[in-house]
């Protein structure tokens, strides 16, 4: 199990709940597949297209990933002087990664196009 979570969230603050849009389109586009649970919360197994969007082609690695779509995702972001604890809407979290994922620009672009909001991603410590 990893000590980090790769999370994606809108760059600008907004209050529109887009979780159902995210879940349905991620499923349609085969980014996520069947529903499961991860750490007692609803999640999805990785779909076939996820690897293309995060730059990973190792199917064994991808099969271990879990994706959660959260209406509100709390986290820590590095500020100018210190870390800031923030609450973000419409977060997509990729669980069980171990730092091997290094290029997720395509996934940011995909989420931005899907939602109409500019997305950014980053690793967070558990």
* Model confidence, pTM: 0.88
In angstroms, the CA 31 to CA 48 distance is 6
Please name the helix (run of DSSP H) or strand (run of DSSP E) that holds residue 107, with its range, or none: helix 105-115
Give 29-56 as a 3 state SS string: CCCEEEEEEECCEEEEEECCCHHHHHCC
- Encode the chain (126 residues) as per-residue pLDDT tens digits: 456 789 999 998 877 999 999 999 999 999 999 999 999 999 999 999 999 999 999 999 999 999 999 998 876 666 566 566 667 899 999 999 877 898 999 999 999 999 999 999 988 876
């Amino acid at each position: 199990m990893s000590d980090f979570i790769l999370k994606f969230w809108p760059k600008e603050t907004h209050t529109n709940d887009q979780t159902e849009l995210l879940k349905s389109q991620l499923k349609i586009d085969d980014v996520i597949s069947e529903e499961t649970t991860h750490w007692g919360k609803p999640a999805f197994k990785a779909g076939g297209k996820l690897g293309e969007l995060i730059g990973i082609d190792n199917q064994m690695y991808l099969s271990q990933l879990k994706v959660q779509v959260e209406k509100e995702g709390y986290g820590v972001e590095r500020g100018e002087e210190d870390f800031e604890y923030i609450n973000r809407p419409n977060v997509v979290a990729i669980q069980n990664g171990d730092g091997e994922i290094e290029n997720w620009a395509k996934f940011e672009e995909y989420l931005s196009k899907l939602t109409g909001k500019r997305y950014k991603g980053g690793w967070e410590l558990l």
